[in-house]
Amino acid sequence: MRHQYEYLLGVDEAGRGALCGPVVAAAVALPRELVIHGLDDSKRLSPRQRQDLAGQIREFAVAWGVGFASAAEVEEVNVLQATFRAMRRAIDFAVAADFKPELVLVDGPHGIPGLEWPQKPLIKGDARSNNIAAASILAKTARDEYMIELHAALPHYGFDRHKGYGTVLHREALASHGMSIHHRPSFCRPKIK
């Protein structure tokens, strides 16, 4: 996406549909003329590619931040509102170092309520903006790292394999062990057929 702005901040999230763990958002401002080869929507990249790109993004970004909203927050306010909380936290980290975005690009159809910076929601933004693609990579890698750490404490759920999403393996573990405090009860209820 070509633009006239010098300081764009892209925002994206990971983990909205998971049964367990936080929603994680990232905010990234890349230098306007920077080219990072392989930058793409995090879902289209392998874990290794995401890790390699995440290192480059953190090294070369003008500003970046990551924000979390816990499973308890998802249950308290709903997943969309928890996503907005995570996004605001990510933006707060990015702007803490005296970075002032001219425009915040938000992946998806919704703007962030009450945001003090001008913003523009972009459907399929991770395919249209390098800043959003970079944010999707940082959000996904941060969430995956969190779930791997959680796996060390609760290995019987297999978080290292499914990262908290509703796979057959995860649902079998839930049937055997019940929910942990990190699960989202409203997401784990059996589906009515």
Closest C-alpha to 107, from 174, 42, 187? 42
Is there a domain that residue 3 lies in? no
In a domain, 2, yes or no: no
Tally of structural domains, the chain: 1
- Which helix (H) or strand (E) segment holds residue 50: the answer is helix 47-60
Residue 4 C-alpha from the chain's centroid: 26
Global pTM value: 0.94
Rounded Cα–Cα distance for residues 113 and 17 (Å): 21
pLDDT on residue 2: 53
* Strand arrangement of the beta sheet that strand 8-14 belongs to: 63-69, 23-29, 8-14, 103-107, 119-122
Count Cβ atoms below 10 Å from residue 152 Cβ, excluding itself.
9
Residue 102 burial (CB count, 10 A): 14
- Asked if residue 182 is part of any domain, the answer here is yes
Contacts of residue 49, Cβ cutoff 8 Å, sequence gap at least 6: 38
Predicted pLDDT at 189:
78
Find how far residue 59's CA is from the centre of its chain.
19
Confirm whether 91 is domain-assigned.
yes
Residue 14 lies in a domain: yes
- Domain carrying residue 156: 8-188
The answer as to whether 193 is a domain residue is no
Per-residue pLDDT of the chain (193 residues; tens, 9 = 90+): 555 678 899 999 999 999 999 999 999 999 988 889 998 888 889 999 999 999 999 999 999 999 999 999 999 999 999 999 999 999 999 998 688 999 999 999 999 999 999 999 999 999 999 999 999 999 999 999 999 999 999 999 999 999 999 999 999 999 999 999 999 999 997 654 4
In a domain, 158, yes or no: yes
CATH of the domain at 127: 3.30.420.10
| Domain assignment present for 170 | yes
